[in-house]
Amino acid sequence: MFILAFIICTVVIFIVSTKINRKRYDELNLMLNQILEGKEVTYPDTKDTRASKISHQVKKIKDMIEIEVEQSKSEKEAIKGLISNMSHQLKTPLSNITIYCELLENINISTLQKKEFLQKMKNETFKIDWLLQSLFKMTKLEDGVIEFEVEELLIKDTLIQSISTIFNKAEAKNIRINLEPFSDIKLVHNKKWTIEAIVNVLENAIKYSPSDSTITISVIKMELYTKITIKDEGIGIDSRELNDIFKRFYRSKNVENQNGTGIGLYLTRLILEKENGNIIVESKLGSGCCFSIFLQNCKSLN
């Protein structure tokens, strides 16, 4: 009798266990199907530890898939935006070159006019070359392909070389570059790339400043960083756009009718971030701009 009762209990337990396992299987199968179909996943409300663990793992897989899908969408949008902006930036100089070629085909133009059109074509090709080089640098910096080594170097020579690079452009508008006296200091930076970052800011200052104005550069040592300020007397920036000017391809509405690519300040920000530095701007429309570049005082702060 005891043996019969034991057998009956064993059979009942097996049947119940089988039903429970089948229920778990059905729940898991439902969750996986919902993931594959992109539907909202229904997680079973269970106190069973093993079933709960399985549900948790399924949820993690679902979350990982969603993150990958979003990243893929973002990357596609970024590539699409980059191609669109590149096409837009190249359109104007290429159109101009086409026009100058057509004008040069006119047999009635004078030798002087030919020289003028050839020079304009050359200028447009320089623009295209500069744009392509800037895009190349930008993508390499974004992808971390460029090896970026920083050193403890005196900053004065870096500033002087930056000023020398844009001196002719400033002189053409009779703009004075005033580097205020300061005690030279070693800062953590890559000389070549920092010159490029500073030149981008100075070129913007020259482009959007009136003739016979002044650009003032000052160096202020702080506890952890040194601040390099570049202050101009130009058209200024609307306060609503201050958070946007360091974005890729961004151009202020006030300068849309002037030549520009919207790459320079974005490159500057990328370069300074690689050096663990920073750049900010203060400005009001009609009151000029004051860019502040921050570089580390010593390498041990990295």
Model confidence over 75-133: pLDDT tens digits?
A: 666 566 666 666 766 777 788 888 878 888 777 788 888 888 888 888 888 878 877 88
- The yes-or-no answer to whether 70-143 and 151-301 have a common fold is no
Chain segment 151-160, per-residue pLDDT in tens: 999 999 999 9
Q: Dig out the tokens for 169 from the structure.
A: 């452009």
pTM for the predicted model, two decimal places? 0.66
pLDDT of residue 80: 66
The distance in angstroms from the start CA to the end CA of the chain is: 81
Q: Which of 7, 48, 8, 2 is nearest to 28 (CA)?
A: 48
Residue 188: beta bridge partners? 152
Low-confidence ranges of the chain (pLDDT < 70): 1-62, 65-66, 68-69, 71-86, 88-89, 255-260, 299-302
Q: Dig out the tokens for 176 from the structure.
A: 């004075």
pLDDT of residue 297: 92
DSSP assignment, residue 217? E
Roughly what angle, to the nearest 10 degrees, separates helices 49-104 and 2-36? 10
The CATH fold of domain 70-143: Helix Hairpins (1.10.287)
CA distance 237 to 197: 19
CATH number assigned to the domain covering 151-301: 3.30.565.10
Where are the domains positioned within the chain?
2-69, 70-143, 151-301
Q: CA triplet 206, 208, 212: central angle to 5 degrees?
A: 60
CA distance 51 to 117: 78
DSSP assignment, residue 268? H
